[in-house]
């Protein structure tokens, strides 16, 4: 998909927001949802999405909606830092398929980095063990 298009209300993240698909939730408020990536690039990889916005990417979103999204990104990144003690944290966001976007609902990746540990490929690694994701999520939640 290109940068332009119509928002698909049946994308996986929209289904997660509506409760039609499960996720390993880390944090939720009125505007945002943070959950574990089931195809993580690193142990502890999370996603943050808006709940009310039907924006495909950063270029589509109402600018007023960005503040609550970024507030959640920062909040869960701090909790990740406390809970997992990574050596670094990547915060990234893709716009359009050529840029690496695979789900066309605005989302931010928060990926812990550890010295001497490689990073998996975006959207192409194996599915994570759900028990491990739940355990990691619980550690991050305890730091919120």
Residue 86 domain boundaries: 12-142
* Catalytic residue selected from 45, 107, 109, 122: 107
In a domain, 7, yes or no: no
- At 123 the pLDDT is 72
Residue 33 has phi, psi (to 5 degrees) of -140, 130
- At 75 the pLDDT is 98
Chain segment 4-58, per-residue pLDDT in tens? 899 999 999 999 999 999 999 999 999 999 999 999 999 999 999 999 989 999 9
For residue 1, pLDDT beyond 80: no
Chain segment 80-129, per-residue pLDDT in tens? 999 999 999 999 999 999 999 999 999 999 999 999 998 988 777 778 99
- The Cα–Cα gap between 106 and 13 comes to 9
- At 122 the pLDDT is 77
> Which CATH number belongs to the domain containing residue 100 in this structure?
3.30.428.10
In a domain, 5, yes or no: no
In a domain, 3, yes or no: no
In a domain, 55, yes or no: yes
In a domain, 6, yes or no: no
Residue 92 has phi, psi (to 5 degrees) of -140, 165
Q: Domains in the chain: how many in total?
A: 1
Q: What is the mean pLDDT of residues 122-143?
A: 92
114-141 burial code (b ≥16 CB/10 A, e <16): eeeeeebebeebeebeeeebeebbebbe
- At 121 the pLDDT is 82
In a domain, 1, yes or no: no
In a domain, 4, yes or no: no
- At 138 the pLDDT is 98
Is residue 107 annotated as part of the catalytic site, yes or no?
A: yes
Is the pTM of the predicted complex or chain greater than 0.75?
A: yes
């Amino acid at each position: 998909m290109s940068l332009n298009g119509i928002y698909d209300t049946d994308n996986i993240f929209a289904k997660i927001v509506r409760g039609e698909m499960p996720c390993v939730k880390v944090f939720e408020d009125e505007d945002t949802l943070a959950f574990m990536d089931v195809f993580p690039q690193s142990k502890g990889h999370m996603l943050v999405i808006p709940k009310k916005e039907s924006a495909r990417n950063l270029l589509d979103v109402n600018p007023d909606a960005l503040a609550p999204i970024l507030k959640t990104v920062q909040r869960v990144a701090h909790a990740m830092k406390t809970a997992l003690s990574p050596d670094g944290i990547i915060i990234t966001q893709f716009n359009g398929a050529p840029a690496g976007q695979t789900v066309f609902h605005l989302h931010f990746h928060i990926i812990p980095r550890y010295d001497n540990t490689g990073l998996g490929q975006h959207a192409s690694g194996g599915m994570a063990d759900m028990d491990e994701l739940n355990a990691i999520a619980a550690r991050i939640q305890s730091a919120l």
